[in-house]
């Protein structure tokens, strides 16, 4: 999947491709999940996708990394969980996150899954992002961010306390 937006301020084209989890950049992963320990745990054995700016030269020839998504098998049968999806701040608002999410959805369908799950804060841009893609709320993990993170998480002047569980039926 790629984008080629035209105009004088348009970003260069980009594409989404599989990525080795060991190569996933911490600078992006920690944008979506500030707990390095939690990320280390779910990164092992995960499936990752990268969004790369294809017009920017890199030694690998793959393009500059601008986004990442991390999937792991979920507890429920035929389900996967999206553990992390992050886009470089310079590339946010250009469709990169949506393209990563759509690639993840297509990939879990290819694996025979019938459900994609995600956990996120109870408010904010990320909740709207998932709801626009068709995710529905399935539960609330009360005090999740208070119990499982050593640093407080704030957005728009409000502290995240509870985690919403959402799912997309495929």
Distance CA 157, CA 73 (A): 34
Number of domains in the chain: 1
pLDDT for the residue 30:
95
Cα atoms in the 13 Å half-sphere on the side-chain side of 160 = 27
Residue 63, domain extent: 2-169
Q: Domain holding 162: CATH number? A: 3.40.630.30
* Residues 23-68 pLDDT 10s: 999 999 999 999 999 999 999 989 999 999 876 555 555 678 999 9
pLDDT for the residue 149:
85
* Residues 122-168 pLDDT 10s: 898 899 999 999 999 999 999 988 898 888 888 888 889 999 999 99
Cα atoms in the 13 Å half-sphere on the side-chain side of 80 = 25
Distance CA 16, CA 52 (A): 6
């Amino acid at each position: 999947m790629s984008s080629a937006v035209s105009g004088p301020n348009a970003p260069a084209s980009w594409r989404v491709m599989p990525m080795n989890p060991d190569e996933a950049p911490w600078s992006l992963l920690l944008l979506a999940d500030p707990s390095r320990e939690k990320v280390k745990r779910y990164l092992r054995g995960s499936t990752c996708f990268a969004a790369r700016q294809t017009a920017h030269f890199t030694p690998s020839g793959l393009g500059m990394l601008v986004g990442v998504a991390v999937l792991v098998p979920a507890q429920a049968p035929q389900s996967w969980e999206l553990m992390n999806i992050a886009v470089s701040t310079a590339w946010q608002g250009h469709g990169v996150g949506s393209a990563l999410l759509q690639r993840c959805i297509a990939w879990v369908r290819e694996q025979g899954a019938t459900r994609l799950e995600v956990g996120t804060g109870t408010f904010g841009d990320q909740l709207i992002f998932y709801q626009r893609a068709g995710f529905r709320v399935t539960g609330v993990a009360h005090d999740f961010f208070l119990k499982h993170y050593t640093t407080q998480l704030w957005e728009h002047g409000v502290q995240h306390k509870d985690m919403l569980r959402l799912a997309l039926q495929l």
